[in-house]
Structure 1
């Protein structure tokens, strides 16, 4: 009887930790990503005829500012493939996928045709700086300096958008995903060479 009570207490305590501690939930989600769950679906499908969709064409306006106060605009990034991840420090799925985005960033950080940005949506710069240092992440962080286009971000965290060289949406993932795989690298490289 006593053993059953201890096991109930332990299971209850673990459930509470997972429920209320974002870092613990993120660790569990990272484990699930490592076994192959949460892979981004890199091809949009037209539901009417089950064929790949063309990119969503639009002339998006979005201004951001980096941690040093330098302005970054989508207009300035035309001609490059842009990977943007919308996140917040309190979001467990965001925390879980950050190491995979770091892997992707490390692959492309010296590529002048690719820009990888993490867009922290709450603007808590000091908290973000501490978070990035604690997690040993070197990802470029920017903050919205204008309204975020609804096609990019509808409030669900995390959300990732990949833009082609013309600034059109080539891919969107709402929710956590593993961006460290070769399939994501190949998708970005294909966007680099396609018109």
Structure 2
């Protein structure tokens, strides 16, 4: 079943963010754009490369009005430990949510029962709390922060300009397609 336009469930989770533990709820997401970036586990191989890639683009996501939440089934305590001992992970400025109960993993339908971990999933959530883009990758294939940012910006453009759509490889400033009866078949 598709997750598109699914409103996320109410939730309460704890994150490690800015050297503190913080409670995050659905209410914290509403009214702004969010990226839920699920990764299998702390202290692994592909995950830190993805988290670093996101950190390099974090300011651009923030400038676009989007918060990033990195999420795994580890606890927020494990996130702190990883942050404290890893030179690369210590640079991360966005919240790292712990989901040891798997509540978020089940809500986003990416919990791998066999492995006991989440799959590598990216979810862009609009200001109303609805999923507007998502992808789930095989565990051994990393994601690209540039493409996630491009998709976010396209979603924001379409959200603001309801009769326009963004073609393949669209970038901000590029031409869009007007959706009207006159343009069908052109």
Bin for the TM-score computed over the shorter chain: 0.5 to 0.7
SS where residue 118 of structure 1 aligns? Answer: strand
Q: Which has the higher helix share?
A: 1
Residues 124, 134 of structure 2: 8 Å contact kept: yes
Report how far residue 54 of structure 1 moved: 9.5
TM-score in terms of structure 2 length: 0.62
Which of 157, 166, 179 aligns to 2:145? It is: 179
Higher relative contact order (CA closer than 8 Å, sequence separation 6+): 1
- For the structure 1 residues 69 and 145, does the alpha-carbon distance in structure 2 shift closer, same or farther, using more than 3 Å as the test? farther
Partner of 1:129: 83
SS where residue 109 of structure 1 aligns? Answer: helix
Partner of 2:172: none
1:93 and 2:46 aligned: yes
Q: Unaligned 5+ residue runs, structure 2? A: 113-117, 163-186
Q: Distance in 2 between matches of 1:191 and 1:85?
A: 22
Q: Which has the higher strand share?
A: 2
Q: Unaligned 5+ residue runs, structure 1? A: 1-52
1:189 and 2:156 aligned: yes
Moved over 4 A (4+): none
Residues 82, 116 of structure 1: 8 Å contact kept: yes
Q: Distance in 1 between matches of 2:74 and 2:3?
A: 32
**Aligned residue-pair number:** 143
- For the structure 1 residues 132 and 75, does the alpha-carbon distance in structure 2 shift closer, same or farther, using more than 3 Å as the test? farther
Partner of 1:148: 104
Partner of 1:107: 60
Residues 121, 136 of structure 2: 8 Å contact kept: yes
Tell me which structure has the larger Cα radius of gyration: 1
Q: Distance in 2 between matches of 1:97 and 1:164?
A: 22
The two structures, once aligned, show a CA RMSD in angstroms of: 3.0
TM-score in terms of structure 1 length: 0.59
